[in-house]
Structure formats: C-alpha cells, structure tokens
C-alpha cells in the first residue's frame, strides 16, 4: 500500500515537472515567434524605405516611433521577466537619444 502511494506521489511529481517544462517551452516559443515577427516587420520597413528612396530620390520622410512606444505595443511578446538582454539599434550616432525614448 505504501509503495503504491509512493509511486503515485512520484508520478504526480513527474507530471508537474513535465508540465513546468512544457510551460517553459511555450514561453520560449512565444518569445521566438515574437522575435521572428519583429524581424519580418523590420525587413518590410527596410524594403519599403529602399523602394521609396529609389522612387523619390535621396530625401525621404519616414514615420518615427520611440523605443518605449514599440515596447509598450509589443509587451505581450517580451520575455516573461520583462528584460531585454540584447538590443541592436542603428540610429547613426543617436543611440542615447533612442534609448531615452
């Protein structure tokens, strides 16, 4: 009887561990999907910008959004701990201004 109870407890613990691993995998997958979506959006913007540049000459107007606005709009895609370990920006020497939002 005790062995059966121990076995059931062990199986319950194993199930909990598998569930936690599954949740962790889902979180990583969501973060990966969000990253891919953002990269696709960035590529679309770059392509559109290049096309407009070719069509309009050397001067171009483009929409501007602050980093804080982008992060707020994409909060659902941020990692669970809400930290960004690496951020690549290319703002021609205006990195501090970009990071200040």
CA-based angle 30:19:83, to the nearest 5? 35
% residues pLDDT > 90 (the chain): 0
Q: How does pLDDT run across 3-20, given as a tens digit for each residue?
A: 777 777 777 777 777 777
Is residue 35 scored above 80 in pLDDT? Answer: yes
Cβ pair 34, 77 in contact under 8 A: yes
* 59: confidence class by pLDDT, cuts 50, 70, 90: low
Mean pLDDT for 10-34 is 80
**pTM of the predicted structure, to 2 decimals:** 0.37
Q: How far is CA 81 from CA 28, 31, 40, 69, 72, in A?
A: 12, 11, 24, 19, 15
pLDDT at 23: 79
């Amino acid at each position: 009887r005790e062995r059966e109870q121990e076995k059931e407890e062990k199986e319950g613990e194993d199930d909990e561990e598998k569930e936690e691993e599954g949740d962790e995998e889902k979180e990583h997958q969501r973060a990966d999907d969000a990253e891919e979506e953002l990269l696709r959006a960035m590529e679309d913007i770059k392509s559109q910008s290049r096309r407009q540049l070719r069509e309009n000459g050397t001067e171009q107007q483009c929409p501007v959004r602050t980093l804080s606005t982008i992060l707020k709009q994409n909060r659902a895609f941020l990692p669970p701990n809400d930290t960004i370990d690496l951020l690549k920006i290319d703002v021609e020497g205006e990195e501090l201004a970009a990071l200040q939002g």
